[in-house]
């Protein structure tokens, strides 16, 4: 199978908006320039499809695009090409590191209580941006580890050991029933999976709300939000925290937890083939549906199917 995809692009000077769109798309895909108007990506079916779509868009607007599969580039070693990809991502990670350090300095200056409220949205925004870059960090640029350490340092400051009930300390399910639950808008995999777990295993009548953290109702239980008891704890995503805290012992839930962890954290702790498909399915829901409750309704059905399919696989 070809190791690389090479895209040769020639864009007419007018309209200039096409050149900007092409550049932004190439950057979003993580493509690296080999030389002017020549871009490269590692070969994967997803990258191949994305380059095909981009080629069609360029040609539709009277530009030229040629897509090649190549096993190697004669005047460059694989190590040379990998280094270019890593250098491109290092620039992104350096920018993230600067932002994380500013947050850490701000928390140090203002104190934990006010710091959480002030920096919550920026931390959530940063996490989303870092997640997107990790998705195109094809060769694990070293800067990603520094960003991870900075994030963990901030989380330790916000959630010092002993400040909350240990994640493995089970809570009484009765205390969680008849309650409202709230999380952040535009739910992705961890929030949808956690909402599914709440509805299916904790309280079928639970009311699930979406709001900005500053507007969380005082009587609702927050989940998958900064500072929430039911959120990321240590190396666990929110779904894993809920499974442990609720004392749910179910082999299929354990498998689902691995899938959700891989999609959400992308740390390769669990190598689940299903992760890529689930990620794409939920991104599709978010792109197609603007109402978060509609996204949630479809997401609950998706996880119903996953849970059932995992059961079928055991037979």
Tell me the average pLDDT across 191-205. 95
pLDDT for residue 135 = 86
Q: Which of 138, 172, 181, 163 is nearest to 3 (CA)?
A: 138
Contact in structure between 222 and 228 (CB atoms under 8 Å): yes
pLDDT for residue 46 = 86
DSSP codes of every residue in 165-181: --TTSPPPGGGGTT-EE
Indicate if the pLDDT at residue 157 is higher than 90: no
Phi, psi angle pair for 206, to nearest 5°:
-60, 135
Within 13 Å and on the Cβ side, how many CA atoms surround 200?
22
Which conformational region is residue 296 in: left (phi greater than 0), alpha (psi within -120 to 50 degrees), or beta? alpha
Put the strands of the sheet holding 207-210 in their side by side order.
Answer: 207-210, 180-183, 220-222
This model's pTM is above 0.85: no
Give the lowest-confidence range in 109-113, 183-187, 283-287. Answer: 109-113
**Tell me: the pLDDT tens digits for 57-113?**
899 888 999 999 999 898 899 999 999 999 999 999 999 999 999 988 887 776 545
**Angle at CA of residue 101, ends 98 and 103, nearest 5°:** 115
**Tell me: the pLDDT tens digits for 227-265?**
888 999 888 999 999 999 999 988 899 999 999 999 998
pLDDT for residue 163 = 44
Domains contained in the chain, CATH given: 4-70 (3.30.70.240), 78-158 (no CATH), 173-313 (no CATH)
Looking only at the bridges linking them, the beta strands covering 38-42 and 32-35 are antiparallel
**C-beta neighbour count of 197 within 10 angstroms:** 24
Contact in structure between 126 and 101 (CB atoms under 8 Å): no
Rounded to whole angstroms, how far apart are CA atoms 6 and 208? 46
């Amino acid at each position: 199978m070809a190791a690389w995809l090479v895209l040769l692009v020639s864009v007419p000077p007018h309209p200039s908006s096409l050149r900007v769109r092409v550049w932004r798309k190439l950057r979003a895909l993580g493509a690296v320039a080999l030389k002017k108007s020549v871009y490269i990506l590692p070969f994967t079916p997803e990258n191949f499809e994305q380059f095909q779509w981009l080629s069609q868009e360029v040609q539709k607007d009277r530009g030229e695009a040629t897509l090649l599969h190549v096993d190697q580039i004669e005047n460059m070693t694989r190590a040379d090409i990998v280094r270019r990809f890593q250098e491109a991502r290092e620039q992104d990670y350096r920018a993230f590191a600067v932002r994380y350090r500013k947050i850490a300095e701000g928390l140090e200056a203002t104190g934990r209580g006010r710091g959480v409220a002030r920096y919550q949205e920026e931390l959530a925004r940063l996490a989303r941006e870092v997640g997107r870059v990790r998705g195109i960090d094809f060769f694990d640029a070293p800067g990603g580890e520094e960003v991870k350490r900075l994030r963990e340092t901030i989380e330790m400051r916000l959630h010092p050991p002993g400040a909350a009930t240990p994640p493995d300390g089970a809570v009484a399910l009765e205390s969680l029933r008849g309650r409202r639950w709230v999380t952040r808008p535009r739910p992705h995999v961890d929030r949808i999976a956690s909402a599914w777990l709440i509805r299916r295993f904790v309280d079928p009548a639970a009311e699930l709300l979406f709001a900005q953290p500053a507007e969380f109702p005082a009587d609702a239980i927050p989940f998958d939000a900064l500072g929430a008891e039911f959120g990321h704890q240590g190396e666990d995503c929110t779904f894993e925290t809920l499974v442990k805290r609720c004392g749910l012992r179910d082999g299929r839930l354990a498998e689902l937890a691995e899938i959700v962890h891989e999609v959400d954290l992308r740390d390769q702790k669990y190598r689940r083939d299903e992760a890529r498909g689930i990620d794409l399915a939920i991104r599709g829901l978010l792109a197609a549906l603007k109402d978060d409750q509609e996204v949630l309704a479809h997401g609950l059905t998706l996880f119903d199917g996953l849970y059932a399919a995992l059961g079928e696989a055991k037979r």
